[in-house]
C-alpha cells in the first residue's frame, strides 16, 4: 500500500508570503504523488517558522551560500528506492525554481525511513498493524 509521507517544512519567519507557502506545500504534495506514488488526498504537511539565526544550514564544504528563503524539508516515509528519492529531489528542486524562483542552494531535503509500526493516525490505534489500513 502506498502511503503519503509526513512532510515538515522549516522556513525563516517573514521570508515567505502565505501564498508562497501554499505553493510550497502544493508543489511538494504533487511531487510526492509523482515520485512516490502516494494516494490522492493522503496529505500530511507541517510548516514551522524560525528566526533566521535559529535555522542554520551550512554548506557541508560544498562551497555555496543560502539566503533567508532557505527551506529545510524533513520527510518521514516508508522505504523508497534510490531512483524514487533522486526523482523526488530533482523534481521538487526544478518545480520550486520554476514556480517560486527558489535558488536551488536554498533547498535541503532529509528523508527518514520508517515502517508500518511507526504510525498511528488517530486515537492511539496502530492502524497498519491492526489491519485497519
On whether residue 131 sits in a domain, the answer given is no
Q: What is the pLDDT of residue 128?
A: 86
Residue 88, domain member (yes or no): yes
Q: Over the stretch 72-110, which tens digit does the pLDDT of each residue have?
A: 999 999 999 999 999 999 999 999 999 999 999 999 999
> Which stretches of the chain score pLDDT less than 50?
none
The count of structural domains within the chain is 1
Q: What is the pLDDT of residue 1?
A: 57
> Is the distance from CB of 66 to CB of 15 less than 8 angstroms?
no
The CATH number covering residue 107 comes to: 3.30.429.10
Would you state the pLDDT for residue 39?
Answer: 87
39 is a catalytic site residue? no
Indicate which residue of 5, 39, 51, 79 is catalytic.
5
In a domain, 24, yes or no: yes
**Are 90 and 15 in contact, with CB atoms under 8 Å apart?**
no
pLDDT at 114: 92
Domain that holds residue 93: 5-113
pLDDT score of 51:
98
Task: Tally helices (H) and strands (E) across the chain.
Answer: 2, 4
Amino acid at each position: 500500500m502506498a502511503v503519503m509521507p509526513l512532510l515538515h517544512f522549516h522556513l525563516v519567519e517573514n521570508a515567505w508570503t502565505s501564498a508562497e507557502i501554499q505553493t510550497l506545500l502544493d508543489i511538494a504534495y504533487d511531487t510526492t504523488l509523482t515520485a512516490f506514488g502516494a494516494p490522492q488526498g493522503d496529505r500530511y504537511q507541517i510548516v514551522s517558522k524560525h528566526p533566521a539565526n535559529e535555522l542554520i544550514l551550512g554548506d557541508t564544504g560544498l562551497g555555496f551560500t543560502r539566503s533567508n528563503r532557505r527551506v529545510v524539508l524533513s520527510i518521514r516515509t516508508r522505504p523508497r528506492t534510490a531512483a524514487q528519492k533522486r526523482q523526488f529531489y530533482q523534481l521538487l528542486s526544478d518545480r520550486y525554481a520554476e514556480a517560486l524562483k527558489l535558488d536551488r542552494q536554498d533547498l535541503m531535503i532529509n528523508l527518514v525511513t520508517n515502517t508500518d509500526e511507526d504510525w498511528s493516525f488517530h486515537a492511539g490505534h496502530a492502524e497498519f498493524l491492526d489491519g485497519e489500513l
